[in-house]
Chains A and B, each alone.
Chain A
Amino acid sequence: MTTQPARVTIGRRTFVGYVVAGATLVAAADLGTGPAGPAAAAPGVPQPAELYDLNDFLTEAAMPTANLITVEVHEDGTASFALPRMEVGQGITTSTAMLIAEELELPLDRVRVTLADARPELVWNQLTGGSNTTISTYTPVRVAAAVAKQALLEAAAIQLGDTVANLVARGGVVQAPDGRSLTYGELARAAASRTTRAVDVRLKDPGQFRVVGTGQPRIDALEAVTGRKQYATDLQVPGALPTMVCRAPTLNGTPKRLRNQREVLAMPGVTDVALVDTGVAVRAETFGQCIDAIRAMHVDWADGPVAGLSDQDVVAELHGAEVPMPTLPDTPLAQTVELDVLFYFRSNSAMDTNSAIADVRDGKATVWSGLKSPITAQERIAEELGLTPDAVTVHVVQGGGSFGRRLFFDGALEAAKISQAMGKPVKLMWHRADDARVGRTHPMATSRVRAVHAGGQVLAFQQSHTSVETDFRHGLGELITAKVADLPTGLGNLGFSETVFELTQEVPYDFGAIVQTLVETDDRFNTGSMRNIYSPDVRAAGELMVDQLARAMKQDPYEFRRAHLRNDRVRAVLDAVADAGRWGRSMPSGTAQGIAIHKEYKGVSACLVEIDCRPRQTRRDIRDGVGGPRATKVVFAVDVGLVVNPRGLEAQMQGGINDGIALALTSSLHLRDGHFLEASWDNYFYTRQWNTPPEVDVIVMPSDSGQPGGAGEAGVAATFAAVACAYARAVGQVPSYFPVNHRDPLQFRPKPVVPPIPQSPTNGLRKAW
């Protein structure tokens, strides 16, 4: 790994690809082809993330593998591609199909993109994370498609008795000057090769793009709106009966004994029970009968590692782990502004709970699950089952959301253990209550910010982030780095955390001496990234400080940012939202605007929020939900560089906006006596229709960049920060913790922990409307 910026590859259009031996045309490119170069360094003293960010790390991690991704052209005139990444809603199957359609000159609806099974030979190249998919696959996918087009042209030249230069490929047809033509389907066999050969191809000039850069609907939209799109629990695998797990009353507690096994086995529909390390599993004809069985179980438990702990204990632990910050001057000439912010635990729980189908019999295992690190999953499952990795087949299924959750494979591993214990196929589904309470969370963290200003200048800016450990034990998607992250005493994971922090966090302001540090402590919780990693918290605290500095220096928050930004792209998005959102317009008391910026993943963003904190909003009577302050309007501008699908990018920003609002205002988990209280969507208050802004305006900035940026996480940080700043301005006080409602009286009655899951109601017909 190097911290030197690599040569920017913009403009390079000639690459080597392959025609692979096959019965019909198979074109390939090395997935390590043409890494995106780091962005040009900004003026001033660059921070690490400016020169070389997490995406460069992920992209370079992909380079040593000499393994191929292939685009196939079929006799029905379609092309297919198995993407070694996971689709969880972020739109990468659509954007990948667009790249293929573009280079292959094939209509978009004739390109099929599926998800590749775990391919261990890809080593580091099958991780979906860090918003890296488009950045790392942009060139290789195009190269493979361009090779396919060239092979089709060569085959057509022979059949039509003409030269390649005279032929035109367009819309899935190769046309000769005399009007004769052949379809790709007719050429698929003739263009195939008996041997694998390397070929040089020239990629399209981006100025000639007809598909890339146009707004396209998702390729799976029809499947989604007709209910035909299949997630793990929708798959019909013979014998894989519904299976659920009875879990401990404390987080990560373990089962000692099921006292009434005979009684449970005699219940209607129940076929099997088995003790595994995470609880007592039950398999039945229906999930409803699994729920009944779990509620009837009498289990002896060993307490989990955080038994007895509550929020305030973890807060105290974090404060104890905070390292002293360097003393800054505070004199009439040089004044120090201080800000301490606490961020509570939050759940990355997706709609589609942790789930997997597993069939472990006769020394072999087959697993179907939504997995963003399938190679690590395959290797770890093999290890846990006592099998070799080649005895484990891992099928990657589309996931109903991830938000960081599916970087891990908790459901797949658990399903495999249960199937092995029962000797039968199982379809494991976590109950929502388990997914909320036991599923991974974004760790609790504190951020301390100190800044010194004198004579109208900011001389120093320090941010010290202290967090419950963020689990990166998925590594880079395979077991070697996953093992490094899993070294004893957490040292390995800490090194990983610090690397990720260094590579993602950046203060794009001209604030003199900038220092950002990370300390992590306590590995007893089930944590992970959550749309995204550190940025939302770090940015919210940082931008609140920027507002405090502006106030201390008697400047307007927008003008202050504008004057101190070191990056023209950030200034452009800031100007865009200030203009479109009419920054500074007169607002009634109790309402306010807030403005914030963010820079990460080769992209820049800015957000302007209007918030209403007046009692008529905060006192809204919402059954089983929270109203609270309402973000009434959001204007968001994003520049990710080259945009493959502006419609998809807009969708990702709209989603990220709702995540940012949730982090600021409503969404958190409460730890009480060793367990999280939240057990349903009416306890864990993710943004709902009554919280979402009635007015949302997303501005996709024009870009002359030849390199695409990441999108899946880019909407969250600036929104969280802008909502936080707007809230502080509306109520006249900077919050010391987020979400701002966390210490309000609980707005739900916590569900019991024994039994661990609630029974389904029976009054649904009376509630029909």
Chain B
Amino acid sequence: MPKQTFRLNGRTVTVDVHPDVRVLWVLRDLLGVTGPKYGCGINVCKACTSHVNGLAFNPCSVRVGDLSPSDEVTTIEGLPDAPDGDGGALHPMQQAWLDRDVAQCGYCQPGQIMAAVALVRKVRREGRSITDADLDGIRNICRCGTYTRIREAIAQGERAM
């Protein structure tokens, strides 16, 4: 079995698995990292949203063999240790989620938070702030319909980041 090596939440991991297997299954089924959720498997629902080298990506749609040993994958479990995580037990965006009591069933929320952090980083790279149009453009689905509080929490998280 070929060995696949990449960085996960600050550590180098090596997994014996066929390179064609998508990263989501490597994380969930082989490494037991279950923060990224399955919601569709075709990069539509965004429940598995995580970061690769600081950018939002969906591990359901990346072959593990396409990751290089230096690619840094961050899941919700590793988010507090991200450079904009201010060293606490929770990333400011997670704290905003708690303060606004966003979660209902909670299933989509790790992905929502990872997308929200990536959105703040993106608008900062573009030298601007988040607009209503940016919020409208978030594709992560929440079947409980927590969208109102998600929007409020992103505004708070952006201020705190």
Partners in one complex: yes
Interface residues of A (CB under 8 A from B): 88-91, 217-218, 220-231, 233-234, 236, 242, 268-269, 285-289, 291-292, 349-353, 398-403, 429, 431-432, 624, 647, 651-652, 654-659, 680-682, 686-690, 692-694, 696, 757-758, 760-765, 767-769
Contacts A689-B138, A690-B137, A765-B52 given; does A227 touch B101 at CB 8 Å: no
13 contacts between A and B (CB under 8 A): A225-B102, A286-B17, A288-B24, A292-B20, A350-B105, A351-B37, A432-B45, A651-B101, A655-B144, A688-B147, A692-B147, A760-B42, A764-B61
Are A286 and B105 closer than 8 Å at their CB atoms?
no
Are B62 and A400 closer than 8 Å at their CB atoms?
no
What's the Cα separation between A253 and B142 when bound, in Å?
A: 31
Say whether chain A's binding surface is mostly helix, strand, loop, or mixed: loop
Q: Does B120 contact A (CB under 8 A)?
A: no
Contacts A88-B105, A769-B55 given; does A225 touch B97 at CB 8 Å: yes
Are A690 and B76 closer than 8 Å at their CB atoms?
no
Interface residues of B (CB under 8 A from A): 17-18, 20-26, 28-30, 32, 34-45, 47, 52-53, 55-63, 66-67, 75-77, 90, 94, 97-98, 101-110, 113, 118, 122, 132, 135-151
Q: Which residues of B contact A769 (CB under 8 A)?
A: 55-57, 118, 122
Kindly list 17 other residue pairs between chains A and B, CB separation below 8 angstroms, not including A226-B110, A760-B24.
Answer: A221-B102, A227-B35, A228-B35, A233-B38, A236-B32, A289-B25, A657-B145, A659-B145, A681-B40, A682-B44, A689-B135, A690-B137, A692-B148, A764-B23, A765-B52, A765-B62, A768-B52
What's the Cα separation between A286 and B27 when bound, in Å?
A: 10
Contacts A222-B98, A681-B39, A768-B52 given; does A351 touch B118 at CB 8 Å: no
Are A224 and B103 closer than 8 Å at their CB atoms?
yes
Among A291, A682, A763, point to the contact of B41 (Cβ < 8 A): A291
Are B59 and A764 closer than 8 Å at their CB atoms?
yes
Q: Which residues of A contact B150 (CB under 8 A)?
A: 689
Contacts A286-B25, A288-B21 given; does A225 touch B103 at CB 8 Å: yes
Contacts A286-B29, A288-B25, A681-B45 given; does A89 touch B35 at CB 8 Å: no
Are A351 and B142 closer than 8 Å at their CB atoms?
yes
Q: Which residues of A contact B138 (CB under 8 A)?
A: 689
What's the Cα separation between A226 and B81 when bound, in Å?
A: 12
Contacts A234-B34, A351-B141, A432-B39 given; does A768 touch B57 at CB 8 Å: yes
Are A242 and B52 closer than 8 Å at their CB atoms?
no
Are A694 and B132 closer than 8 Å at their CB atoms?
yes
Are A400 and B29 closer than 8 Å at their CB atoms?
no
User: A436 — nearest CB in chain B belongs to which residue?
Assistant: B40
Q: Which residues of A contact B141 (CB under 8 A)?
A: 351, 681, 686, 688
What's the Cα separation between A767 and B38 when bound, in Å?
A: 18
Are A764 and B147 closer than 8 Å at their CB atoms?
no
Nearest-CB distance from A6 to chain B (Å)?
Answer: 33
What's the Cα separation between A236 and B29 when bound, in Å?
A: 9
Are A680 and B103 closer than 8 Å at their CB atoms?
no
Contacts A226-B77, A656-B145 given; does A768 touch B18 at CB 8 Å: no
What's the Cα separation between A401 and B97 when bound, in Å?
A: 18
Q: Which residues of B contact A654 (CB under 8 A)?
A: 145-149
Nearest-CB distance from A470 to chain B (Å)?
Answer: 20
Nearest-CB distance from B128 to chain A (Å)?
Answer: 15
